[in-house]
Structure 1
Amino acid sequence: MDALERIDQFVKTNPVLIFMKGTPQFPSCGFSSRTAEALKACNVPFGYVNVLADPEIFENLPRYRDWPTFPQVYVDGELIGGCDITLELLERGELQPMVEQAVQKKAENSGTAS
């Protein structure tokens, strides 16, 4: 499987996903740190990919949705943007319902909703 296929699989299998430098617990850049903190503030589970640990993803992710920078946040399979956009959505109160809906939709589609 090539890098773009792997990226696509990550995006499609995680209702909320951040491609970042480092991990949510140990981010390796300020932008990734602030973006991960915004997602944590929503209190919903989210996936992450440490682009520094996978050179192929690091090289190919900017081509996936024509977004040149890291981090990149995907919700329900769609790129919502990077750090600034994610923080703006959080401040406007739009990030929380967006990620909650994506997680709920994934749970309903997998038959695990209660």
Structure 2
Amino acid sequence: MSDVNARIQQTIEANPVVLFMKGTPVFPQCGFSARVVQILSHMGVPFTGVNVLEDMEIRDGIKSFSQWPTIPQLYVKGEFVGGCDITTEMFQSGELATLLDEKGVPHSANA
């Protein structure tokens, strides 16, 4: 495992919910990242944001790590969930709340 993959894996294992994003949860720097932050915040999900704009190795590495070409990327209990579109669809259908329940991640709102 490469150094960047090891760093990504360690971050995912150390935090129940991780969002690899452009910007920070307080100051997202792209609309897609902002949308996922908005969903997680609305649901009351505690999460860790990783700003890929601060680390080019992570920015490039997360795409190969997940085999997913875009950012943001959401991970729940080590499992890759998806990007903005998938997270939005899962939120709207209630699947995201179900996944959080199954993984034992606290949240306060379903939709």
Tell me the TM-score normalized by structure 1. Answer: 0.84
Q: Who is 1:47 aligned against?
A: 48
Letter in 1 for 2:92: E
State the 1:96 CA deviation.
2.3
Q: Do structure 1's residue 37 and structure 2's residue 38 form an aligned pair?
A: yes
- CA gap of 1:13–1:52, structure 2 versus 1, over 3 A, is same
Q: How many residues align?
A: 105
State the 1:63 CA deviation.
0.6
Task: Give the Cα separation in 2 of the matches to 1:56 and 1:39.
Answer: 25
State the 1:93 CA deviation.
1.2
Task: Give the Cα separation in 2 of the matches to 1:84 and 1:73.
Answer: 11
Q: Who is 1:97 aligned against?
A: 98
Percent of aligned positions with the same letter in both sequences? Answer: 48
State the 1:104 CA deviation.
4.4
State the 1:103 CA deviation.
4.7
The alignment partner of 1:63 has SS state of helix
Letter in 2 for 1:95: L
Asked whether the equivalents of residues 36 and 84 of structure 2 are also in contact (C-alpha less than 8 Å), the reply is: yes
Measured on the aligned residues, the alpha-carbon RMSD in Å equals: 1.7
The alignment partner of 2:45 has SS state of coil
Task: Give the Cα separation in 1 of the matches to 2:60 and 2:42.
Answer: 29
Tell me the TM-score normalized by structure 2. Answer: 0.86
